[in-house]
Amino acid sequence: MVCLVAERALAASSVSRVIVATDDSRIVAAVEAAGYEAVMTLVGHTSGTDRLAEVAASLHEFDIVVNVQGDEPLISPETIERVVEALQKNSRCAMSTSWEPITSADEVLSPDVVKVIMDNDNCAIYFSRAPLPYPREAVRNHGSLANALEREAGLLAQYRKHTGLYAFRREFLLEFASWPPSPLEQIESLEQLRALERGVRIKVVQAAAASIGVDTMADLERVRAIAARRG
C-alpha cells in the first residue's frame, strides 16, 4: 500500500522527489526493495506532520513540502498538483489540503471520516471527526441525524470529507513542528488543528477524484477490490 502511494505521488507533475518517512525498518526494506527512497526517522513523533518536519529540515533546496499519508493508496496525482498549486497561488496561506464530496450517511456518521468546514475563501474553519455541520432543524424533524440524511434530499451535499494530503511552506512546517500538540488536536487526534488554533490559514481545494483512506479492514478490502479491477 505504501509503495502504491509513492507511485501515485511520483506521477504528480509538481513533485520532483518522493521520500517515504517511517520509524519501522520493515517499511524501509519493503519500500527500497520496490525501488523507492525511504528514510528512518525518530520514534515517538506525535503526528505524521512532525515526522515530515524531521525529514524536511535537511531538504534546503525545496520551498514546498507535500505530505501524502501512507494510507491513501488511491490518491490522484492531479489532486496533489491542485493542492500544490493552491499554496503557490495563495501567499497568505501556510498550508493547503483537499476535500471530497461525501456520498453516504455512513461516512457522515463515521469518526474515521474527517469532515472539513470552509469559509467563503475556501480556507478551513474546522476539521472534525464529528458530523459537522449539525443540521439542527432536520434532526428535530426526523428524530436523528441518520434519519435526516436519509429523508432530506440535498442534506448530504453539505458535508465535505477531508483527504489525507497536505502541502506546507517548508519554513512554516519547521515552525509547526516546534509547537506542542494543541488541546483540540489531542481531543480529535487531528494535527491540522494545531495550526488552526494558532490562526494559521489553510487553503482547501476540491480533490480531482475520490480517494479512500485505509483506516479499517473494510477500507482495505474496498481498496483491494478497486485495485484488482484496475489491474
Question: H/E element holding 192?
Answer: helix 192-197
pLDDT tens readout for residues 43-88: 988 888 899 999 999 999 999 999 998 888 889 999 999 999 999 9
Half-sphere exposure of 38 (CA within 13 A, CB side): 22
Is the torsion defined by CA of 63, 75, 38, 195 positive or negative? positive
Rounded to 5 degrees, what are φ and ψ at 162?
-80, 135
- Using DSSP, state whether 60 is helix, strand or coil: coil
- In which band, very low, low, confident or very high, does the pLDDT at 229 lie, cut at 50, 70 and 90? confident
Which pLDDT belongs to residue 48?
85
Can you name the residues that pair with 166 across neighbouring β-strands?
67, 97
- Mean pLDDT computed over 118-125: 97
The pLDDT assigned to 45 comes to: 87
For residue 95, which of 175, 9, 38, 15 has the smallest C-alpha distance?
Answer: 175
Partners of 203 in the beta sheet?
96, 123
How high is the pLDDT of residue 116?
A: 98
pLDDT of residue 1: 87
Compute the average pLDDT of residues 11-32. 95
Give this prediction's pTM: 0.90
Kindly tell me if the per-residue pLDDT of 133 is higher than 90. yes
Say which DSSP state 123 is in: B
122: exposed, middle or buried (Cβ count in 10 Å: 0-12, 13-18, 19+): middle
Q: 199: pLDDT confidence band, cut at 50, 70 and 90? A: very high
Q: Is the pLDDT of residue 230 over 80?
A: no
**Can you tell me the mean pLDDT for 164-190?**
95
E strand or H helix that includes residue 54: helix 48-56
What 8-state DSSP symbol labels residue 170?
A: H
The C-alpha cell of 76 is what?
A: 490522484
> Is residue 138 within 8 Å of 155, Cβ to Cβ?
yes
Q: Over the chain, what is the mean pLDDT?
A: 94
- Cα–Cα distance measured from residue 213 to residue 3, given in angstroms and rounded to the nearest whole number: 15
Average pLDDT over residues 111-123: 96
- The rounded percent of the chain whose pLDDT value lies above 70 is 100
Asked if the model's pLDDT at residue 26 lies above 80, the reply is yes
